[in-house]
Structures are given as C-alpha cells and as structure tokens.
Chains A and B, each alone.
Chain A
Amino acid sequence: MTTTTNVTQKKKDRPNLNERIADLPLPIKVVLWILFALFLFALPLLNIPFITTPDSDFGGVLFTVSTYVLVALGLNIVVGYAGLLDLGYVGFYAVGAYTVGVLSSQHGSLPWLWCVPVAIAVAMVSGILLGAPTLRVRGDYLAIVTLGFGEIVRLTLVNSQWLGGAQGISNIPRPPGIELFEVPSIDWSTGVPVVDLGTTTTFLKFGISDFIPYYWLALVVIALVLVFDILVKNSRVGRAWEATREDEDAAELMGVPTFRFKLLAFALGAAIGGLSGALFAGKSGFINPQSFELLLSILFLAAVVVGGQGNRWGVILGAIVVSYFPERFREFADFRVLVFGLALMLLAIFRPQGLLPPRRTLRAKRADARQHVLEEGEAGA
C-alpha cells in the first residue's frame, strides 16, 4: 500500500499529458481537435506505413475497429459508469444487426436508414426486458446471467428458421449514399508518399467492396455517441451512476433510485450495442450467427477493462488495441491468439487501472496521497 502511494506522490509534481492539454487555451484546443478529426477521416487514404495493415484491407479493418469503439462506448456505460459486469453484450449487438436483417431483407424491405432507429429501439427494449428481472441480482451473478443471455440470443439465431438459422440473412441493403467526387489515396510503395490517382474512393458511395465510406459513417456515429456520452455522464444521471457504483446502499439511502438508474444504464448500453450491430449489418450485407459468438462478448469486455473502465477515451483506446492488433499482426498467423492472450495478461499486470484510468481514479489517488501526507506529516513529502 505504502509503495503505491509513494510512487504517485513522486509523479504528482509533473503534470501529465492530459493535464497539459487541458491547460491549453480554448482556440488552440479547437484547432487541435479539428486537425485530429481530419486526420482520422483521412487515415484509410493515407496508407501510412507500419500503421496500415499489410495483410488485410485497411479500410475494412478500420471499420471493424470503429464498430468495436462504438460497442466499447456502449459497454462502458454499463460496466464503467454503472459498475455492472456484463458478459453478454454481444447479445445486443446481435439484436441490432438482426433487427436490420429481418426488417430489410428477411421479412420486409425497409431501407437501411429506417431500420436503424427500430434496431436501436428493439435493442433497448431487450436490454430492459433482460435488466428488469435480473438487475436485482448483484455483482458476479449478473455476469453469468448476462453471459447466459448472450448465448440464448445466439442459439435462438442458430435454431430459428424464421431468423434465417445458420444460413443467416443475405442481401441486407446498404446505407443510402450520393456519389459526389473521388478522393485519391496515397501510395508508399516506392518509399516516398505519392498521390495515387488510380486508387480512389468515391465520396459517399456505400458499395460492396470499398469500406472507407462505411468507416466515415461510423466515425460520424461515434462522434454523436461521444457527445451524448459526455452530456449524460455530466448530468444528474452520471452522478447517480457514480454513487450507485461506489456504494449502492449509501446511494439508496441518499434517495437515489439505484435500480432505475441501473436499468437506464443497461438500456442505454444496449441501445448503443444495437446501433453498432445495425452499422455492421449495413456494411456487410450478410449476417449469420457465426459473427455473434460468446468470445466476442469477452473481447468487448476486454476492450473496456484494458482501456480503463469509466474513461471514455480509455475504452476507445482499449477497443483499438483489442480489434486492431490482431489484424495488424496477421504475420504471426497461428500465433496471433497466443500473443494476444499474453498481451492481455501483461496489460493486466502492468496497467491494472487500464491504459487510461478514469479521472476519478486519478482524483482518488490524489486524495489518498493528500490523506497520506496529513497522516504522516512531513515525512511523506
């Protein structure tokens, strides 16, 4: 105990990167943000060596990464903010994707865009239906109940012919687009960056094999969800979650209807899971139960915890780690999962609070340090 606090105390004097950025004047911050956003949009076209995945299409990988980011943001509300351990999150992801599949192809022909709000709503309702009876169960029991839910969803998909069974659902319509202009990409094959006018992406054509527009769409959705996330977290709801997570009994005594807030977290998390499922369905055009295995739930949770549960930037980073590295390091071939497992263990051991711990933890640490100083007098300083 004493060693950890001593270490944080030594670090305390040097402001870290976060704090330094936070101290910058507002206009500079805005410019930085815009540049960063531009960079993200241009990323699949820049083909930066080493970052670009050599063995799989980078646009496609980036889309996968962005669905993981979206899912991690949703799961972060459940796990990070409300402190509920959810091992069946893939269930909501599947509900979202299949709602789109059923309405647009299997049993209807609605356009993709119309299906999305329905998918969000259905996922949300399924979250409430699952949460209402089970959220009274505490802690680790919830983990197994949600895990069971994820499996029930997957097995229902496999065994129900109405939902396409193991064959899945094909011919899901793509998002609507307008073809405006071509954007060239950069070619590094000669060692120097060259604008490659031969390989272009049509701005906003949601086609079959060019995934970059889908990635752009996902980025926009992520931005919207982030804004929503920030607003909710800083509202009364966010504070109620924090209180519930830290001490449920105390929160209840102080008049926080903890059950209702937990249910809300579950429903919001489910809605975002459903949204990312809908995006996935619109991009791939084909879904089957194989894409919604239990393992995915575990990877989602790993993204949140590795990144730093409770910190939205942390979980984004975690999602990138979990989804990008296995694709980037395809050259490990058969050893990919092994290396990934080792990486998870090392991360857990050396960054137990996550890659980017939530600010609350930083705050708590500082409070601990202060307390330590008070208790030990000058000796600690």
Chain B
Amino acid sequence: MRSTLKFAVPLAVAALALGACGTTGGTSNTPAASGGAAACGDYKIGMFGALTGPNANLGIYIQNGVNLALDDYNKKHPDCKVTLENYDSQGDPTQAPALAKKAIDDKKVVGIVGPAFSGESKAANPAFAEAGLVHITPSATNPALAENGWKTFFRVLGNDATQGPAAAKYIKDTVKATKVFVIDDASEYGKGLADIVRQDLGSTVVGNDTIQQKQTDFGASVTKVTASGADALFFGGYSPEAAPLIKQLRDAGWKGTFVVADGVKDQSFIDNAQAAAEGTVITCPCVPADVAPDFQAAYKAKFNEDPNTYSGEGYDSATILLDGIAAGKDRATMVDFVKAYDKPGVTKQLKFDAKGEVTDVKVFAYKVEGGKIVSVGEIK
C-alpha cells in the first residue's frame, strides 16, 4: 500500500507539469475529434481469431467473408466507411485477453466477429461481456459457451450439440452402419462431438480411440479399426489429421464409410487424401454454396477461390454488425440491435434466441465425389 502512495505523487507532479503545456486533462479522452459528419461515427468492427501461425487457415477464411461484407457496405456508404481492425490471437488463449482489452479500449470498435475458437473464446469473452462489446462468433461451436450468461455472446451457426445428433442420425439411417468405430482427436471440438455421437449411437459403437492433434502416424488406430470389423468410422477432428488417417486406413484395405464433421470440410482434406477421400461423408451446420450463388460468385471474384469453411458465417456475422452501424447504433446499443435482428443471411435466417444461439439451425450432409465436396441434402 505504501508503494502506491509513493507512485501517486510523481504522477500528480506529472499532471501539473503537463497541465502547464496548455492542454486540459479530463476531456482529452473523447475520441470524436474528427466528427465532421454527425451521423458518421468513424466506426470499426473487429476480427478476432488466428490470422497468422499454424491455425491461421480458418481465421483467414472467416476474414475473407468479413472483408466481402465490408466491401458491400462501403460501396453503399462511400462517405462513411467502416474499417476492419484485426486482432490476431493465433488461436492462443494466452494472447487473447490482452487483445480483447485492446479492442475494448478502442472506443471506435462497435462489434467483434469472433473469437474464432472455443478456447480463446473462454479467455476473451468474459472481458467483452463486462465491457458490453458485442461479439458474434462464426465458428466456435462448443455448446458450453452459450451457458455463461454473457449478454454479448452470439453465434451464427449450430453448436456441437446440434451437429452431433445429426451425424449420428445420418450414420444410423442413411449409411445404415451396424458397427461404428469412433475416433476423436482429444481437442475440445473433436472430443465434444465424438462423445455426442458415441452416446447417440449407443450399442452400435464397437470401438473407440483417441488420437492427438499433429499426429501423422496412425498405425495402431488403423489396426484397431480394421480388427473391429467396423463398417463406418466417425472421426471428430480437423482435416490435418483426417487426411492421413483415412489414407492409412484405405492403404490397410479398410472399406467402410468415413464420416466426419465440419472441421474436415476443407478442400485441403481432398487435396491431401486424394483417392482415399472419395465417398467421405461430411456433416456441417453450414448451408451449401448453391443456396447463395451471389455470395459464392462475389467471393470467387474477389479471392479467386470458392468460399471455404465459415466464410459465409464470417460474412453474415459482419453483415449483422454493419446493419447495426447503418441503423445508427453504437457500442452500447448494438447488443439490443443484434438481439432483435431477424433477416435472411447467406447461410441461414439470422435470428438469435435468448442465449445468443442462432434459432434456425440446419445440418447438411456432404459427400466427396470426384474430388469435390457435393451436397447431398439436409439431415432431418
């Protein structure tokens, strides 16, 4: 306690000295110095997620979607442009809180797209909730995130608790598998999803295994799957592990159906697994691209590739915030705006329930055919 008194003194001295420079303290914190057009708040929206480092793919797919939404908005409002502020967490929960604070301190930031992963969400969201800064995640699917009472939390896609049962249903009803092997990657996402599938499938599960992220050799797991005589394998995890896993399984002569979830819905899975990827079933709470052809065309024109995982969700999240800005909302009023939002987006009808979950959740099944991910319809 003594030390605080000590350092309060020089600060007071500094204050006096600086006062002599002719600027008055106290008022300098209002940022609206450039306020020419009253309606134009010179606002920014934030993009919070991994933009560099090993997990950057997903973040960049989202960022592309956000940028597309910004382009649309700025074209319509050329005299009052909104800019994007990037908060590159590298997907690391250790870096997330300081970045969240940075976003909160920047009073021009009226809303955040992200955080992209569940881990960093848990680290950053309490601070956003305290500051009343809206954050709409386009990709963090952990169900527990919505249970924390964060009033600022919104999610534009179905969580694992909706996707898991759909995947189980598809395996049971459409694949008609009688012996299912379930593998997860011990990640929050993969294990959460696989556990739901295990529970729903009950006695048809003939074996379980857990691999680790970044693992590339699956010799033991392959032996377990082939020895179990399973005719379907559900893998909860991401594409870097899914590709070598299915490749090694096919090399070992396993013929069953490979079922994965949205973490694998990624062109790199097919590029890397090649022939082995054929016939893979992918479930995803994301709408097929042919549902929103305009978005797909615009995306392709700008980035020279098809929209990838969560690009559409990124676009939708940003659009909600930009609509809020167009309606004259600022940080404080944005929460209620988003809460009351009800408009069609490129991925689904965007409307949230009391917990911030999107109400209209559809899970679709996709299949890898001829080196492409094609939609095979909604799982009902």
**Chain A residues near B (Cβ < 8 Å):** 34, 37-38, 41-42, 45, 55-57, 59-61, 63-64, 155, 158-159, 165-168, 170, 180-181, 183-184, 186-187, 189-190, 192-199, 203-204, 207-211, 283-288, 290-291, 327, 330, 333-334, 336-337
- B96-110 CB mask vs A (1 if < 8 Å, else 0) is 011111101100000
Contact A192 B93 (CB under 8 A): no
Contact A38 B7 (CB under 8 A): yes
Q: Which residue of A lies closest to B23 (CB)?
A: A194
Given contacts A209-B97, A285-B126, A330-B88, contact A192 B25 (CB under 8 A): no
Q: Which residue of B lies closest to A280 (CB)?
A: B94
Contact B93 A193 (CB under 8 A): no
20 A-B interface contacts by CB (under 8 A)? A38-B7, A42-B10, A56-B99, A60-B97, A158-B186, A158-B212, A159-B210, A168-B188, A180-B4, A184-B11, A184-B15, A187-B28, A193-B14, A194-B18, A198-B26, A199-B29, A209-B97, A286-B122, A291-B92, A336-B52
Contact A284 B21 (CB under 8 A): no
> Is B326 an interface position by the 8 A CB rule?
no
Q: How far is the CB of A289 from chain B (nearest CB, A)?
A: 9
Q: How far is the CB of A337 from chain B (nearest CB, A)?
A: 8
- A-B pairs with lowest CB-CB distance, top 6: A60-B98, A198-B29, A209-B127, A57-B101, A195-B25, A57-B98
Q: Which residue of B lies closest to A219 (CB)?
A: B3
Given contacts A284-B94, A290-B93, contact A59 B101 (CB under 8 A): yes
Q: Which of A197, A208, A284, A327 contacts B26 (CB 8 A)?
A: A197
Provide the bound-state CA to CA distance between A59 and B192, in Å. 34
Q: Which of B23, B97, B102 contacts A192 (CB 8 A)?
A: B23
- Chain A residues lying within 8 Å of B118, measured Cβ to Cβ, are 167
> Is B51 an interface position by the 8 A CB rule?
yes
- Chain A residues lying within 8 Å of B28, measured Cβ to Cβ, are 187, 189-190, 194, 196, 198
Q: A57-B101, A330-B88 are in contact. List 7 more A-B contacts (CB 8 A).
A: A38-B10, A64-B94, A186-B14, A208-B130, A284-B94, A333-B51, A336-B52
**Chain B residues near A (Cβ < 8 Å):** 1, 3-4, 6-8, 10-11, 14-15, 18-19, 21, 23, 25-26, 28-30, 51-53, 56, 88, 92-95, 97-102, 104-105, 118-119, 122-123, 126-127, 130-131, 142, 144, 186-188, 191-192, 210, 212
- Chain B residues lying within 8 Å of A34, measured Cβ to Cβ, are 6
Contact B187 A166 (CB under 8 A): yes
Provide the bound-state CA to CA distance between A57 and B19, in Å. 26
Q: Which of B15, B18, B98, B119 contacts A290 (CB 8 A)?
A: B119
Q: Which of B11, B122, B212 contacts A45 (CB 8 A)?
A: B11
Q: Which residue of B lies closest to A223 (CB)?
A: B3
- Chain B residues lying within 8 Å of A166, measured Cβ to Cβ, are 186-188, 191
Provide the bound-state CA to CA distance between A251 and B28, in Å. 64
Q: Which of A183, A190, A287 contacts B11 (CB 8 A)?
A: A183
Specify the main secondary structure of chain A where it touches its partner.
mixed
- Chain A residues lying within 8 Å of B1, measured Cβ to Cβ, are 180
- Chain B residues lying within 8 Å of A170, measured Cβ to Cβ, are 122
Provide the bound-state CA to CA distance between A63 and B210, in Å. 36
- Chain B residues lying within 8 Å of A204, measured Cβ to Cβ, are 4
Provide the bound-state CA to CA distance between A155 and B186, in Å. 10
Q: Which of B14, B93, B130, B187 contacts A291 (CB 8 A)?
A: B93
Q: Which of B6, B23, B123 contacts A38 (CB 8 A)?
A: B6
Provide the bound-state CA to CA distance between A34 and B212, in Å. 50
Q: How far is the CB of B241 from chain A (nearest CB, A)?
A: 14
Provide the bound-state CA to CA distance between A318 and B57, in Å. 32
Contact A57 B186 (CB under 8 A): no
Provide the bound-state CA to CA distance between A158 and B14, in Å. 50
Given contacts A56-B102, A194-B28, A209-B97, contact A334 B122 (CB under 8 A): no
Q: Which residue of B lies closest to A54 (CB)?
A: B102
Contact A42 B7 (CB under 8 A): yes
- Chain B residues lying within 8 Å of A189, measured Cβ to Cβ, are 28
Q: How far is the CB of B70 from chain A (nearest CB, A)?
A: 19
- Chain B residues lying within 8 Å of A61, measured Cβ to Cβ, are 98
Provide the bound-state CA to CA distance between A327 and B90, in Å. 12
Contact A192 B126 (CB under 8 A): no
Contact B94 A41 (CB under 8 A): no
Q: How far is the CB of B59 from chain A (nearest CB, A)?
A: 12
- Chain B residues lying within 8 Å of A186, measured Cβ to Cβ, are 14, 18
Q: How far is the CB of A104 from chain B (nearest CB, A)?
A: 16
Q: How far is the CB of B21 from chain A (nearest CB, A)?
A: 6
Contact A290 B92 (CB under 8 A): yes
